Structure 1
Amino acid sequence: MTDLVPIQPAATPAVYDPATLAVLAAMEQAAEEHLDAIRPHNTKRGYANDWALWEEFNDWLGERTGHRVASTHVTKGMLVGFVVWLDTIKLAAPASIDRRITGVTVTARKEHGVEVPKEATVAARKALKPLKLDPDRIARGRGKAPAATPAQLQQMYAAAPAGLAGLRDRALWLMAFGIAGRSAEVSALRADGIQLVSEGLDVHVPSVKQRPPRDVVVAYGKNPDTCPVRAWLTWKAAAGLTSGPAFRPVSVHGHLGADGLTPSGCQEIISRSAERAGVAVRLTGHSMRAGFITTSRKAGKREEKIRAQSGHAANSPVFWGYIQEADRWVDAASDDIGL
């Protein structure tokens, strides 16, 4: 017969005197400061970007529910919702989503003093697991957003819904294309910052994410269906806009909201409109920006003019990548060489 081992009483927690507690607390603080000091700059910047996306998700959710919860509520439901939003709205690659989960939980703890429940991170990664097995989602992390073309904008125009929402959608994606704008810049546009002149529109693009503001011109288009000037004027008149956000939510009953659309809301409208129109590729908010640059270049516009519109720096590798793509068939090395 096996001898029974008596259960040992639980160890009594150590009781520290005030002086010892003070030393231990100081060492904990010193450890945190040391770990923060040796953390690579890119990691810190990545965590800041992760938290900015978390804030954007909370803005997006608040826009749809009518109530914006505090960003420090990093719960199971919110974190799983964040994963779904990154997948379906931001079209993020699974590896990127995985990093975002870590960035949000670390920032919540270190910067806001919020300890994220383990069940929340476990649930978020459980929601992420099937996404990591999808080849199409994995491929999202490879390559740039497809550049929109005038032909695709024509498709989107023809498929836009009737009513106020349809007028807004057309004006939004055509304005995004016309100013070569990021979704955050389109979201920040103000009605009183868009002025009609004889040649078209003078548009003030506000500063977003510490990028400098810029003033651009948007000329009348030759095709009325894809003319950003006509689309803006039609939407502005229908919505009765004189000041405030240029693009706003429209309810299913056609009621106009007072607040501006979030960057993700602008991006969602573009992606949804392209999908409704049966566009062969998945367009995103950045597709309008890329589309303007490549289309303008193919039309023979000068690099400095295009950069002034898009706000790219002269040495931007992203900008020159777009130019190179647009110029692929200009005086191609294989063209007219006697073959």
Structure 2
Amino acid sequence: MADSVAVEVVDAELVDEDGDRALPALPDTPAAHRPLIGRHTLLRPDAPIPTTAGQPTYTEADFRISQETADLIDGAPPANTSRTYGSALGQFHTWCAESGRVPMPCTTATFVEYVGHLVQRDLAPASVQVHMSAIRSAHPDGQQPGMKEARQLLRGHARDWARRRAPRKAPPIRTAALSAMVATCTAADERERPKALRDAALLTLGWGMLSRRSELANLLVEHLAVEDDGVTVRVAFSKTDQAAHGEDTFVPADPDTPSLCPVVRVRAWLEELRRHGITSGPLFRHITRGGTIRPRSGPRGDFLSPDAIGNIVKTRARLAGVRAPGGRAVTAHGLRRGPAQEISEAGGDPTAQGRWKPGSPTVLKHYIEPARGRTNNPLHAARAKARTQKAI
């Protein structure tokens, strides 16, 4: 069989070999319309087969978006998610360049090989999952790599990880620790007064609403309704409410313990804001060393960042000498875990107060079931019965 030879077809005139007389060009023949059917197409008995005939013709204008829309898209993900995904994608692109692979859109083999690379580095399973999500989310719709083999790798790694390591959870900030931290919110002079009032309000309100640090960072003065019996907080959006439907959380007053009462502490901070001429906008703001609250520029403007909220909690815990077992440092998530534990141990359900989704397996696994295991452990009944029988 003769070897196939690639040929290039070009538009040309047909020329008579006997002279220079040009022959008439062949008329253009329209290409046959291609059927638009696939494995999942359903055709009714009287329906024609759909084809490319009549399909719209798109121009560049159909694919362009304005700079304003591009800016809105870029600003849509939470800042911490953007940073995390950006870092993960940067590492993936570097690895692809070193491995001689195409990063976007990548093949399933490249994706699986990179997940294997992360597993061999012994990254935490949650970190591997973040890398996987970042890579797939960066791909155009319909061009994401397959997940089957990558998930198998991740599941195996998670089992091996669980055998070798104990899970690390944020240390809870329980009532005693909260009291010690709030006790550090004192002012030796007028310069220290604003920070002391802000931090005391942040700690007591955050603890009472089982707050995430991002929720505290995005609160507005207008989101609060302070009454004698408690504070109603409007959480405009959260980790489990990315569509920003909003949810109200009521934080009851604690008249028996004024130092930890959110009503007392929030009212004092709002009064301090009014003294600085602030009656609206971000609730928790940056304060200078001189004790002034000044407007700030930058992406978040006058809002504190979630990282700044975390630093405030860490600083107050350090000043109070509060540390977790094993010497671990306290973090802002302790404001969520501590009260959730205490509610569960009292027989309650922290789901609504912490704005978890109804039926959240996180609440059941990490709070309600452990509390029940302590208070309603079947061994208590067995031992009580044994003591009764022994006394007879």
TM-score (norm 1): 0.58
The whole-number CA distance in structure 1 between the counterparts of 2:81 and 2:358 is: 31
**Structure 1 residue 290 corresponds to structure 2 residue 337:** yes
User: For residue 227 of structure 1, what is the aligned residue in structure 2?
Assistant: 261
Aligned counterpart in structure 2 of residue 236 of structure 1, from 270, 281, 301: 270
RMSD: 3.7
Aligned counterpart in structure 2 of residue 307 of structure 1, from 348, 351, 354: 351
Shift of 1:290: 1.4
User: For residue 374 of structure 2, what is the aligned residue in structure 1?
Assistant: 329
Shift of 1:294: 1.5
Contact 1:54 1:104 survives alignment (8 Å):
no
Question: 1:55-112 deviations in whole A, cap 9, x for unaligned?
Answer: 569xxxxxxxxxxxxx89x99xxxxxxxxxxxxxxxxx975898699789979x989x
Higher helix share: 1
User: For residue 338 of structure 1, what is the aligned residue in structure 2?
Assistant: 386
Shift of 1:337: 4.0
Matches within 5 A, 1:206-285: 206-209=236-239, 211=241, 212-221=245-254, 222-240=256-274, 241-258=278-295, 259-281=302-324, 282-285=329-332
User: For residue 148 of structure 1, what is the aligned residue in structure 2?
Assistant: 173
Shift of 1:246: 0.9
> Max radius of gyration: which structure?
2
Aligned in 2, Cα 1:271/1:287: closer, same or farther, shift over 3 Å?
Answer: same
Question: 1:231-262 deviations in whole A, cap 9, x for unaligned?
Answer: 11111111224211111111111111440111
**Structure 1 residue 53 corresponds to structure 2 residue 80:** yes
Question: 1:128-185 deviations in whole A, cap 9, x for unaligned?
Answer: xxxxxxxxxx97x823212211100111012235221111111112111111111111
User: For residue 182 of structure 2, what is the aligned residue in structure 1?
Assistant: 157
Shift of 1:296: 2.0
Shift of 1:283: 2.0
Q: The residue matched to 2:226 in structure 1 has which SS?
A: strand
Aligned in 2, Cα 1:51/1:179: closer, same or farther, shift over 3 Å?
Answer: closer
The whole-number CA distance in structure 1 between the counterparts of 2:341 and 2:240 is: 25
The whole-number CA distance in structure 2 between the counterparts of 1:338 and 1:210 is: 47
Aligned in 2, Cα 1:156/1:337: closer, same or farther, shift over 3 Å?
Answer: farther
Give structure 1 stretches of 5+ with no counterpart. 1-18, 20-49, 58-70, 76-92, 112-137
Give structure 2 stretches of 5+ with no counterpart. 1-9, 11-76, 91-121, 141-163, 188-192, 296-301, 388-392
The whole-number CA distance in structure 1 between the counterparts of 2:204 and 2:372 is: 24
Question: 1:249-301 deviations in whole A, cap 9, x for unaligned?
Answer: 11111111440111111112112211221112122121111112122233343
Question: 1:4-46 deviations in whole A, cap 9, x for unaligned?
Answer: xxxxxxxxxxxxxxx9xxxxxxxxxxxxxxxxxxxxxxxxxxx
Q: Which amino acid aligns with 2:323?
A: A
The whole-number CA distance in structure 1 between the counterparts of 2:83 and 2:347 is: 37
Q: Which amino acid aligns with 2:221?
A: A
The whole-number CA distance in structure 2 between the counterparts of 1:101 and 1:312 is: 21
Q: Which amino acid aligns with 1:331?
A: N
Contact 1:205 1:214 survives alignment (8 Å):
yes
Q: The residue matched to 1:279 in structure 2 has which SS?
A: coil
**Structure with higher RCO (Cα < 8 A, 6+ apart):** 1
Contact 1:185 1:207 survives alignment (8 Å):
yes
Q: Which amino acid aligns with 2:219?
A: L
User: For residue 184 of structure 1, what is the aligned residue in structure 2?
Assistant: 214
TM-score (norm 2): 0.51
User: For residue 202 of structure 1, what is the aligned residue in structure 2?
Assistant: 232
Matches within 5 A, 1:79-158: 95=124, 142-158=167-183
Contact 2:207 2:336 survives alignment (8 Å):
yes
Aligned in 2, Cα 1:284/1:96: closer, same or farther, shift over 3 Å?
Answer: farther
Q: Percent identity?
A: 25
The whole-number CA distance in structure 2 between the counterparts of 1:257 and 1:97 is: 39
Q: The residue matched to 2:309 in structure 1 has which SS?
A: helix
Aligned in 2, Cα 1:100/1:262: closer, same or farther, shift over 3 Å?
Answer: farther
Say how many residue pairs are matched: 234
Aligned in 2, Cα 1:56/1:102: closer, same or farther, shift over 3 Å?
Answer: closer
- The list of structure 1 runs, each at least 4 consecutive aligned residues, that deviate by more than 3 angstroms after superposition, is 54-57, 93-107
Q: Which amino acid aligns with 1:294?
A: Q
